[in-house]
Amino acid sequence: MVEPREEQLEGALTDLKVLDLSGPVGVYCAKLLADMGADTIRIEPPDGDPMREIGPFYDDDPTPEKSLYWWHFNTSKRGITLDLEKPQGQDLFRRLVQWADIGIESFTPGYLDDLGLGFKNLHELNPSFILASITPFGQTGPYSRFQGPDIVGQAMSGVMQLVGVPHRPPYLIGSEIGYWTASTFAADAVMLAVAYRDVSGDGQHIDTSMQRAMSLGAGNSMSTYNVLGHVLHRGELFARGRGGVRTEYLCKDGYVFYIAAAAGTTMEATRDLLVEHGLGEEFDPLWLDPTILRQDGKEKERFEALMSGFFLRFTRMEILEMCFNREKQVFAVPTGTPKDVVESPQTAARGFMRDVEHPELGRSIRYPGPPYRLPESPWNIARRAPLIGEHNEDIYRGALGLSEDEIVHLKNEGVI
């Protein structure tokens, strides 16, 4: 639940107006700004954005207004329709730029320039306007016009090379981590550009590359290659130089991820835990230094056989309680499902899940909330994602001053 005081406070970005033209690679950037209070206007084609076709769907009803993907990434936004490829649509967008502070887009580089809506054109209209472009490879370079879904960011950043176990091919991380990473870095850059504008009065063009953003998530693999000439492979990123062992074990109701992180405290805690459960004699003192486990395959097999049998006695939550609720923690971490996260007492204590009204459904839907607490200017989901063209009247009449007859004409012409 949201704390009552939070509901009465404004978000940190309530003085900013944002135009969101982004596709999947950038939509999370706009969501971050919207949930922090920015008046974010989601602009989509008159027949709806293609993201509305991404499932799963509420009540298994595959209609544009019931995409859970769309709902999640467009909270707190208002929504309008606009065809940028029509001259009248371009004129309306120019007027919106004069009204707004920030634009977020993820078109193929050069697309907006071809429409006369590139940053140079927009800067002339509104010198303080900030445009954030979020694309697979950035605005320049030989790959700049290549299409790139999330898997491209994971693969070509070097991250996928490090995911998985040594004897298997690289794995795809099971989420759109490339999109979200690029969007998060872009949101950071937007805030830096706002701070710069507050001092200088000038807006600027932010050029975010998903590939480059994701490469920062490849840990020290780049520096390892640059300095040592060594390409890190799966299983090496955490093991090299740390002497650690990381293994997933089956338990009664799922899996736990066990980490033997360092010599000393971690392994002593594991030994003490096994002693408490009558397995102390089977723990070899050699294992107090986990480097032995990394370097000696037979010792690792012996250790893993012991731990495998031990963890099978318990459920994930039992393992969490007995491993963490002690002076020296044993790092055996339950692999949680979305159900576990939603129902977690820690999640409840932090007020992570938020109920958001969906008037068209006659009920509220639970959404993930903020990852941090900002007591004086809280993150808050102000509204559910917009319906197609839901706020056309509010924006075109309220913000741009169009008459009712003008709005009807634009709609009949397929501009909005």
Query: 204-243, pLDDT tens digit by residue?
Result: 999 999 999 999 878 778 888 888 888 888 766 555 445 4
Residue 241's pLDDT is what?
46
Predicted confidence at residue 253, as pLDDT, reads 94
Domain hosting 293: range is: 245-340
pLDDT at 243: 46
* pLDDT of amino acid 291: 81
Domain-embedded: residue 226: no
Positions in the chain whose pLDDT score sits under 70: 1-7, 235-245, 261-264
User: Is 46 in the same domain as 138?
Assistant: yes
pLDDT digits (tens, 9 = 90+) for 49-88: 999 999 999 999 999 999 999 999 999 999 999 999 999 9
Note whether 331 and 360 are same-domain residues. Answer: no
Can you tell me whether residue 191 is helix, strand or coil? helix
- How many domains does one find in the chain? 2
319 and 364 together in one domain: no
Domain termination site, one of 310, 340, 370:
340
Specify the CATH number for the domain of residue 27: 3.40.50.10540
Residue 231 lies in a domain: no
Same domain, yes or no: 261 and 313: yes
User: Do the domain assignments include residue 234?
Assistant: no
- Residues 112 and 118: their CA atoms lie apart, in Å, by 5
Phi and psi torsions of 343, nearest 5°:
-95, 5
pLDDT at 39 (0 to 100): 98
The answer to whether residue 327 is domain-embedded is: yes
Q: Is there a single domain that holds both residue 365 and residue 280?
A: no
Q: Say whether both 336 and 360 belong to one domain.
A: no
Q: What are the residues whose beta carbons fall under 8 Å from the beta carbon of 256, sequence distance 6 or more?
A: 248, 249, 311, 316, 319, 332, 333, 334, 335
Residues 179 and 290 occupy one common structural domain: no
Could you give the CA distance from residue 89 to residue 84 in angstroms, rounded to a whole number? Answer: 5
Residue 156 confidence (pLDDT):
94
The reply to whether 189 and 326 lie within a common domain is: no
In a domain, 396, yes or no: yes
Q: For residue 287, what is the domain's CATH number? A: 3.30.1540
Residues 313 and 371 in one domain: no
- Both tokens of 381, joined, read 């989901």
Rounded to the nearest 10°, the torsion over CA 173, 178, 181, 184 is -130
Residue 17 shares a structural domain with residue 123: yes
* Short-list 140, 168, 166, 145, CA closest to 231: 166
Q: Which of 67, 85, 74 is nearest to 18 (CA)?
A: 74
Q: Where are the alpha helices (DSSP H) in 233-355?
A: 265-276, 291-295, 297-311, 316-324, 338-343, 345-349
Co-location of 385 and 267 in the same domain = no
Q: What is the pTM of this model?
A: 0.90
